[in-house]
């Protein structure tokens, strides 16, 4: 009965329309979402590959609306200072520049299944990940990171910073976006190692061996079950520790 209920939830979720503004899964994580949804113990409920946003805290602006703010600029790729300047020109309220990292919500069949995905997420650098259990028994594992950025840029439509500082913020956001993509790649490899059946994994490695672009990744996938995905690199830890320092420096600038 429990399995039937989970399958019903999965069918309802995957068959409903995508109500996000984009209307589709982000390209950088579409393969991850498809892989998870192909597994009988999991399905994704929401996702975002990571994005850079400039939004205005006023509800009567004609731009794209989201709750009590309007989006002046949004991209899932690197941006330029000119993009932010153009967006700020539309601001009539409290404009905020923000980087949001990769986020993924996965409903799991059993608690042990959620714990496995949680371990994959933590070891991939997403240390703000967590598990919640709803009143109806729905088990959700959220892949989250502290790799964020949020800075106010205007007040009542008046820009509070100069172009030099805007260029600095754009550079920081672009660097965070690059790091975000590295963590997504690592999550992908660790997820493959954790969920891929052994026989399929061997077949995949044979196919990858035929393509030079994948040869570099072969050893990481082979070893990930016992090494790569069970420990986090020193660089990632140092970068994470540096995030709060970067944030404090920006507030002081």
What are the φ/ψ torsions at residue 137 (nearest 5 degrees)?
A: 90, 10
Look up residue 221 and give its two tokens: 């996938």
Q: Give the pLDDT confidence score for residue 244 in this predicted structure.
A: 45
The stretches of 196-233 forming alpha helices (DSSP H) are 198-209, 212-223
What are the φ/ψ torsions at residue 107 (nearest 5 degrees)?
A: -85, 135
What are the φ/ψ torsions at residue 93 (nearest 5 degrees)?
A: -145, -125
Q: Give the pLDDT confidence score for residue 78 in this predicted structure.
A: 94
Residue 131 near residue 117, CB atoms below 8 Å:
no
Residues 175, 191: Cα–Cα separation, whole Å: 24
Look up residue 52 and give its two tokens: 């850079």
The torsion angle over the Cα atoms of residues 38, 39, 41 and 44, rounded to 10 degrees, is -40
Ranges in the chain, pLDDT < 50: 59, 61-65, 199, 211, 213-218, 220-222, 224-227, 233-235, 238, 241, 243-253
Q: Give the pLDDT confidence score for residue 217 in this predicted structure.
A: 47
183 CB contacts (<8 Å, ≥6 apart)?
Answer: 101, 102, 124, 125, 126, 145, 147, 236
Report the chain's C-alpha Rg in angstroms: 20
Residue 140 near residue 45, CB atoms below 8 Å:
yes
Buried b / exposed e over 83-110, threshold 16 CB at 10 Å, is: bbbebbebbebbbbbbbbbbbbbbbbbe
Q: Give the pLDDT confidence score for residue 136 in this predicted structure.
A: 87
Residues 40, 51: Cα–Cα separation, whole Å: 30
22 CB contacts (<8 Å, ≥6 apart)?
Answer: none
Of how many residues is the chain composed?
253
At 170-183, the pLDDT tens digits run 999 999 999 999 99
50 φψ region: left (φ > 0), alpha (ψ -120 to 50), beta (else) = left
What are the φ/ψ torsions at residue 101 (nearest 5 degrees)?
A: -80, 175
Residues 207, 210: Cα–Cα separation, whole Å: 6
Q: Give the pLDDT confidence score for residue 71 in this predicted structure.
A: 87
What are the φ/ψ torsions at residue 90 (nearest 5 degrees)?
A: -90, -10
């Amino acid at each position: 009965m429990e399995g039937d209920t989970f399958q019903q939830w999965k069918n309802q979720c995957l068959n409903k329309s995508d109500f996000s503004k984009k209307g589709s899964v982000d390209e950088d994580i579409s393969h991850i979402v498809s892989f998870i949804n192909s597994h009988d113990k999991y399905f994704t409920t929401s996702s975002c590959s990571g994005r850079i946003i400039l939004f205005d805290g006023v509800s009567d602006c004609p731009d794209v609306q989201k709750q009590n703010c309007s989006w002046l600029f949004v991209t899932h790729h690197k941006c330029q200072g000119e993009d932010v300047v153009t967006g700020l020109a539309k601001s009539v309220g409290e404009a905020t520049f923000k980087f949001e990292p990769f986020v993924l919500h996965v409903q799991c069949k059993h608690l042990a299944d959620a714990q496995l995905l949680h371990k994959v997420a933590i070891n991939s650098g997403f240390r703000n990940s967590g598990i919640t259990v709803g009143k109806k028994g729905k088990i959700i594992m959220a892949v989250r990171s502290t790799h964020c950025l949020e800075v106010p840029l205007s007040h009542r439509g008046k820009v509070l910073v100069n172009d030099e500082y805007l260029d600095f913020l754009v550079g920081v956001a672009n660097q965070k976006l690059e790091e975000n993509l590295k963590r997504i790649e690592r999550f992908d490899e660790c997820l493959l190692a954790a969920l891929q059946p052994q026989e399929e994994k061997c077949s995949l490695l044979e196919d990858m061996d035929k393509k030079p672009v994948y040869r570099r990744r072969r050893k990481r996938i082979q070893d990930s079950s016992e090494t790569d995905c069970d420990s986090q690199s020193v660089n990632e830890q140092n970068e994470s520790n540096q995030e709060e320092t970067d944030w404090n420096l920006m507030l002081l600038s």
